[in-house]
Structure 1
């Protein structure tokens, strides 16, 4: 990837609704070469998808909870089962396997504490956990889906 590709990718990560001609103008290319570069990044998987980012408050899921999960089942079958369980819950918007004291980290979004309590009660019936703890986000300081392109 050259500087044109990086610039194109940066622009698309900030606003995927930009037209190819708008992007081309901003990066200093004509429309066709710019379109080809975008197509190449999509084909190679650099651009995985173009999505709309919704406002959690307007969708009534303004409470963000980070759920730390510990297990005593460190095997592929348990992980596969847990991953399937996580897919069942639309409230789980991110799911990570971690190093350190916590085995898995979930980011969960719900409307309020009562909704989280209902989510939690459903989650703990699905499989065995050694420990689950939750931290509630009080304020979002920074949030972006744009990844840095400077390391390319």
Structure 2
């Protein structure tokens, strides 16, 4: 997961675009288990996507700051993939209430066995709460 601009999420005064480098406290899953799946349902002619995204849980908004990251999933009940460009477009969301908390899928693309997703997330940074555009890359791990 990468942000478009360097962030300081662990409040060490070091700014980084690699969000996993900014996560000092991770709960539940190791990073290598973050997952995404895309399924086509022939009966309804729809393409669905479910993907894990790291979500922060803030335990203190005053010094010393305390923030941990947990694995959460978002589900989109219908997406469109342009076969000529690999661009991903959202048609309907299956989880609007979860989006508010965990992020909004704004698009993405697929190429070279990698799924790139763009998500707008609200994160607690050294500048306070901010909506941050992030880029998540999932690599195909099946031979």
TM above 0.5, one fold?
A: no
* Structure with greater Cα Rg: 1
Greater percentage in helix: 1
Greater percentage in strand: 2
- TM-score norm. by structure 2 comes to 0.22
- TM-score norm. by structure 1 comes to 0.21
1 or 2 for the larger relative contact order (CA 8 Å, sep ≥6)?
A: 1
